[in-house]
């Protein structure tokens, strides 16, 4: 009886997830349909409405940070007010941003006016009793994420949970980014991550041989990449 109940509950959960994912009426036949449904079933993505996903719409920096952290098993942190850049406890993504800052998976280049200050608490004798890192600057989580930024966050999160790629591998991988017809448009700080993400088959270029690094990523592209990371 107990085993039957467990199986029934599992089947019910699967049915609910599938039913939820199937509510999106604007992704039927879309190249990312399988990925979108898979992530929706796991609660990693939501629609714009109950029936609309808007696969060609923009995805924000904050939304993608949450998606890729969940896909790689990186837990959100506890927000420390005044220490989380331009986010605070009222921002839904602040716990993810706080954790990302603490473990170093957001490059400084994605933070406007970045500064990490170490602040000390001292006793009456002037002896430091504790210290903390206060992050200054702006992450601008509500801005659309670009394709090169998406590649960077993907690779930083992926590498954090796995063995870090060696320097020699990074040097070899740069040739991949430089092979795109618009490689000069890829930021220098993003080239290694773009190369590695392409090598890992997480992201790919356009049909015309370009990468379009500064183009805003779509919700469908983000879903496809996160799904690939989950299956890696």
Mean of pLDDT values over 199-211: 95
Q: Could you tell me which residues are beta bridge partners of residue 120?
A: 131
Per-residue pLDDT tens over the stretch 16-33: 344 444 589 999 999 999
Rounded Cα distance, 60 and 213, in Å: 15
DSSP SS3 for 88: coil
Backbone angles phi, psi at 206, to 5 degrees: -85, 170
Rounded Cα distance, 31 and 220, in Å: 8
**What per-residue confidence (pLDDT) applies to 118?**
82
| Burial of 156 (C-beta count, 10 Å sphere; 0-12/13-18/19+) | buried
Lowest-pLDDT range, 47-61, 65-79, 128-142? 128-142
**What per-residue confidence (pLDDT) applies to 116?**
81
Mean of pLDDT values over 66-76: 96
Asked if residue 26 lies in contact with residue 32, where contact means CB atoms within 8 angstroms, the answer is no
DSSP SS3 for 112: strand
**pTM for this one?**
0.82
Per-residue pLDDT tens over the stretch 127-148: 766 677 788 899 999 999 999 9
Q: Using 50, 70 and 90 to split pLDDT, how confident is the model at 123?
A: low
* Extents of the domains making up the chain: 2-55
Q: Using 50, 70 and 90 to split pLDDT, how confident is the model at 9?
A: very low
**What per-residue confidence (pLDDT) applies to 222?**
98
Rounded Cα distance, 59 and 150, in Å: 10
Mean of pLDDT values over 100-121: 88
Those residues with Cβ within 8 angstroms of residue 57's Cβ, 6 or more apart along the chain or in another chain: 48, 218, 219
């Amino acid at each position: 009886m107990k085993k039957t109940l467990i199986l029934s509950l599992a089947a019910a959960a699967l049915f609910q997830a599938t039913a939820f994912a199937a509510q999106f009426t604007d992704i039927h036949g879309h190249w990312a349909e399988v990925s979108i449904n898979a992530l929706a079933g796991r609660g990693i993505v939501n629609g714009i409405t109950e029936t609309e996903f808007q696969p060609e719409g923009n995805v924000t920096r904050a939304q993608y940070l949450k998606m890729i952290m969940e896909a790689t098993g990186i837990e959100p942190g506890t927000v420390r007010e005044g220490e989380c850049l331009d986010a605070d406890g009222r921002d839904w993504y602040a716990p993810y941003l706080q954790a990302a800052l603490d473990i170093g998976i957001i490059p400084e280049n994605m933070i406007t006016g970045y500064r990490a200050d170490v602040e000390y608490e001292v006793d009456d004798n002037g002896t430091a009793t504790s210290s903390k890192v206060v992050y200054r600057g702006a992450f601008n989580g509500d801005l659309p994420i670009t394709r090169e930024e998406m590649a960077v966050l993907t690779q930083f999160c992926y590498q954090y949970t796995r063995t870090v790629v060696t320097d020699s591998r990074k040097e070899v991988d740069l040739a991949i980014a430089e092979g795109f017809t618009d490689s000069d448009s890829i930021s220098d700080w993003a080239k290694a991550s773009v190369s590695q993400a392409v090598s890992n088959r997480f992201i790919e270029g356009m049909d015309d041989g370009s990468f379009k690094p500064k183009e805003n990523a779509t919700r469908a592209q983000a879903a496809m990449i996160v799904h690939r990371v989950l299956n890696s």
